[in-house]
Amino acid sequence: MINKFYRKWVVLGILFLLPVIFLLFLYPSTNNYSTLDIVQENIHELDSLNFVDNNATALESNITILNFLGDDPENKLTSVLNLKELVYDKFKGFKKFQIITISSKKSEVALKKVKKKIIQSDELKYWFFASANLKNYTNIFKSLRSKNDLDSLNYTSQVFIVDKQKNQRGRIDDRDEDEIKKDSKMVGLYGYNSILVSEIKKKMNDDIRILFTEYRQKRKGNFNSNIRRLDNLDGDEKNKI
């Protein structure tokens, strides 16, 4: 009889404590969430762009994916289609998310054709298309941190994440666990190759989710001030990159 009595209270105690223990484990994770590194600050605003259909937007206060199609947009359709299927369709319902595709001024007609080709399957409410003269076009690109330059047709397959404060986001250290164990040279990830489906799925989409989580936690008051900034690294750390 006594054993049954104690057994009953032990079971009740376990049932009561399990949720408490779970919450204790959960608490640190919600207040020490991962953040996406700032790899460049003060990205050039888009005042100089000529937006298709006069449908203008800005970097400020938006989470933006920037992509540069250069002088021959119609021949770079793979880049745009990958963004549509793998990124836009996943995040178009998120507040303040947008994609901006930019071409050179002389290819504005071709850019409109690109928009028409992909608008057939979606209204593209959060996707903006714009052109700029070569000077303004390159100024925007050069304000970003990139390992690659624009090619001879002013195109790059790299697309870039810009946050609401016009900071470029990415990874200061993109090494995997094995590379870290081997003490391999630090490799940063500043842009994402829009031609490589695996890179978009495994890295870019994960990083976009991290950024949305960061802003969501800020709204809840759980601000994590430990965002790494590439410009704040000391000389020894920068030399590893």
Tell me the per-residue pLDDT of 53-93, one tens digit each, with 9 for 90 and over.
988 999 999 999 999 999 999 999 999 999 999 999 999 98
C-alpha count within 13 angstroms, C-beta hemisphere, residue 115: 24
pLDDT digits (tens, 9 = 90+) for 156-210: 999 999 999 999 999 999 999 999 999 999 999 999 999 999 999 999 999 999 9
User: Which residues, 6+ apart, have CB-to-CB distance to 41 below 8 Å?
Assistant: 166, 167, 168, 229, 231
Rounded mean pLDDT of 136-159? 98
Find out if CATH 3.40.30.10 is the number for domain 37-239. yes
Residue 27 has pLDDT above 50, yes or no: no
Cβ(97)–Cβ(63) under 8 Å? yes
Looking at per-residue confidence, does 177 or 22 come out higher?
A: 177
Domain boundaries, the chain: 37-239
- Given 3-state DSSP classes, what are the helix, strand and coil percentages for the chain, each rounded to the nearest 5? 45, 15, 35
Q: Of the ranges 12-26, 50-64, 145-159, which one carries the lowest mean pLDDT score?
A: 12-26
Q: Name the range with the highest mean pLDDT among 20-29, 124-133, 212-221.
A: 124-133
Q: How far is CA 17 from CA 10, 21, 202, in A?
A: 10, 6, 37
88-117 pLDDT tens trace:
999 998 999 999 999 999 999 999 999 999
- Residue 60 has phi, psi (to 5 degrees) of -55, 130
pLDDT at 225: 62
Full-model pTM? 0.83
pLDDT at 52 > cutoff 90: yes
For all residues of the chain together, what is the average pLDDT?
88
